[in-house]
Amino acid sequence: MKAIIALCVLSFLVAGCSAANVVCYFSSWAVYRQGYGKFSPQNIDPNLCTHILYTFIGLNPDGSVNILDPQAAIVDNEFQDAVNLKSQNKDLKVLVSMGGYNENSYTYSEVFGNPTLRAYFVQNVVNFLNQYGFDGFDLSWEYPNSRGGIPSDIQNLVLVLNELKAALGDRTLSIAGAGLVSGIDDYYDVPSVSKVVDMINVMSYDYHGSYDQRAGHPSGLYASSLDVTDVQITLNVNSTITHWVLKGADKSKINVGLVTYGRGYTLANAAQNGLYAPTIGDSAAGPYTATPGMMGYNEICQFDQNWQYVFDNEQRVPHIINGNQWIGCEDINSLTEKAQYVKDNSLGGVAIWSLDTDDFNGVCGSGKFPLVNKIKSIIQ
């Protein structure tokens, strides 16, 4: 036994035997939700995750940090409440994430492409972390060389990451990485990005949505036999992660993105309700997230038995149906398989979006944060 422990200690020093990452994002805007959906950092179990990520802060055109919601973040103490979680778990890291889909990619291109603005940006990030006590920085630029970006974004991303890493010292640096295989090719110099960051939080979800005009699952683990084109067969977690590794990402730095929400549709014909059935728009909004086409697990788990549960044995994920409403989602079964996939492939861990759509109040009878707890129990 002593020999095994000694070997593990030695392996740990060389980067083995370390616990898998359980990176947990939370939506700062969830504090405005109603009823049991209202979420703040005070709802977070400080021993649940290895890393907590506050989303989001933004980027100003002059390279300064934009606090998108100063009322919630500063006046109502969301920053401080998130950072204070560390007082209950000395190993917990609390990071702040900049970007998100609503940010203008053009601003990132302009700032990161200008050496003077880039240097000012890096110093602003360091000052921000020092001021509020965060342990690191996550860049969620969606996406370089896309949505208003330019080809030079690819190398400018590498430049800014290297400058950030040098300035951050032993603080954590991560990025949110694209889930689409084509995006991995178009947005990144993968080996260079992988070399400098501590973690790549891969957004291996949202492969389908109402824009497809057909009912597709947002986060299948594998392809369906109904996926026939070169693009369709890549719209799944396994294809995404395989491609990141193929392009040169360090497996130990890859955190597989897992979601605690579903994407929903209104079917064109309630009688035609299989995978990829025609749709006419988003599903109805839920009581907490209040967003058509999106439903948190904390909403789904309260549905009554009028909903039909279907598990796709090829994609290894469930969808649920009620009349003309069709929602592709996750549950304990599908996330168990995904967590095992992470473990079997010796990946760095998981990046969960998000804590605020798990059943964090435990209203459905399986305890608080049942999905995240199940994931953690498998990979750690």
Residues 183 and 77: their CA atoms lie apart, in Å, by 36
Residues 165 and 167: their CA atoms lie apart, in Å, by 5
Are the C-beta atoms of residues 319 and 358 closer than 8 Å to each other? no
Element (H, E) at 118: helix 115-132
Element (H, E) at 257: strand 254-259
Residues 158 and 192: their CA atoms lie apart, in Å, by 6
- Please say whether the dihedral angle defined by the alpha carbons of residues 99, 104, 106 and 111, taken in this order, is positive or negative: negative
Active site residues: 142
Element (H, E) at 9: helix 2-13
Question: What does the DSSP 8-state code read for residue 307?
Answer: S
Determine how many CB atoms are found less than 10 A away from the CB of residue 16: 13
Cα angle: 338, vertex 96, 168; to 5 degrees: 110
Q: Which tokens go with 225?
A: 């036999």
Residues 361 and 43: their CA atoms lie apart, in Å, by 8
Are the C-beta atoms of residues 371 and 359 closer than 8 Å to each other? yes
Q: Which tokens go with 54?
A: 């506050």
- Bridge partner residues of 66 (DSSP): 58
Q: Which of 16, 65, 22 is nearest to 45 (CA)?
A: 22
